Amino acid sequence: MSELKGQGGMDRSKAVALLILTATLWSTSGLLIKLVNWNPVALAGTRSVFAAILMWAYLKKPKLNRSGWQWGAALAYAATMITFVMANKMTTSANAILLQYTAPIYVVFFARLFLNEKTTRIDWVTIIVVLAGMGLFFKEELAPGAFWGNVIAVVSGVAFAMTAVLLRKQKDGIPVESVLLGNLITAVVALPAIAQGPFPDRTGWLVIIFMGFIQIGLSYILYSIALQHVSALEGILVPLIEPILNPIWVLLFTGEKPGMWALVGGAVVLCAVTARSLLLTLRERKNKRS
């Protein structure tokens, strides 16, 4: 991973590839969480401990008092982790992930406010098509009720958007330090839930360790690197393939088949995100030649 640490030499297409790999790792969370019989807040905090260990080893000598932007991103990250777990506890998983992934809407405003990144016509078209596709994707699963769980899921989406924008704000620094700090904050907040017990079995611990080091730790290192080379909005739009990949893992490992609307909605999201990335890549190459 050390060769990825520098900023030079990485073009947009490579950064997008890192985002796709990140989303693939994130998408395994739903399946893995089901394998661990433990309080979800305790699980999230313990997972963050292992993620912090990996990030500390990656950074070697992290500076955790670099700037207010670092602490802002760390708090936004911790809020994302904690509120998403809470939302999954208080409403359906489908509602939680759909409402969290309204994040692109908030990124548009936060990116203009903090980064002065303007939103183009293609960005707005992509956002509208993606949200419509996600609505189709979850058409058969959306459930009414659980008002406060849904509210917390929306808060999770706002926190996720703020995380992407504030990590992007540190594109000339070391944004992974913010994620390390965010994992430490998440672990501290989860301490009361961890202390309550009972603890998971050996299989559960193996899953938690894998989630900490790979599914969260490695993925957010890659995510932080990628955000140094793409816009904040793209850093949210490409990972939208996460909720599409999630049921694929469930299908492969449990045999649970998605419905027709889920397949149509998933195809719409993938096509919209892919088309936007290809158009921007072609435009970038054309500009380089001229």
Q: Write down the pLDDT at residue 290.
A: 65
Q: Write down the pLDDT at residue 5.
A: 41
Cis previous bond, 198, omega within 30? yes
Model confidence pLDDT, tens digit, residues 46-82: 999 999 999 999 999 898 877 899 999 999 999 999 8
Q: Label residues 205-244 b or e (16+ Cβ within 10 Å = b).
A: eebbebbbbbbbbbbbbbbbbbbbbbbbbbbbbbbbbbbb
Q: What is the mean pLDDT of residues 262-271?
A: 75
Percent of the chain with pLDDT over 90: 37
Residue 126: which of 287, 265, 274, 228 has the closest Cα?
Answer: 274
Instruction: Using pLDDT thresholds of 50, 70 and 90, give the confidence band for residue 84.
Output: confident
Q: What is the DSSP letter of 27?
A: T
CA distance 130 to 236: 11
DSSP letter string over 128-144? HHHHHHHHHHTTTT---
Instruction: Using pLDDT thresholds of 50, 70 and 90, give the confidence band for residue 183.
Output: very high
Q: Write down the pLDDT at residue 2.
A: 37
> What residues have CB less than 8 Å from 182, skipping those under 6 apart?
48, 73, 74, 75, 76, 77, 78, 81, 163
In angstroms and rounded to an integer, the radius of gyration of the C-alpha atoms of the chain is 18
Model confidence pLDDT, tens digit, residues 128-181: 887 888 777 666 655 566 678 778 888 998 999 999 999 999 988 899 999 999
From 16-30, 139-153, 184-198, the region with the lowest mean pLDDT = 139-153
The tokens describing 79, both together, are: 């809020």
pLDDT at 88 over 90: no
Model confidence pLDDT, tens digit, residues 227-253: 988 888 888 888 878 877 876 776 777
CB-neighbour burial class of residue 252 (10 A; exposed 0-12, middle 13-18, buried 19+): exposed
CB-neighbour burial class of residue 159 (10 A; exposed 0-12, middle 13-18, buried 19+): buried
Mapping DSSP to helix (H, G, I), strand (E, B) and coil, where does residue 65 land? coil
CA distance 175 to 9: 18
pLDDT at 7 over 50: no
Q: Write down the pLDDT at residue 4.
A: 39
pLDDT at 23 over 70: yes
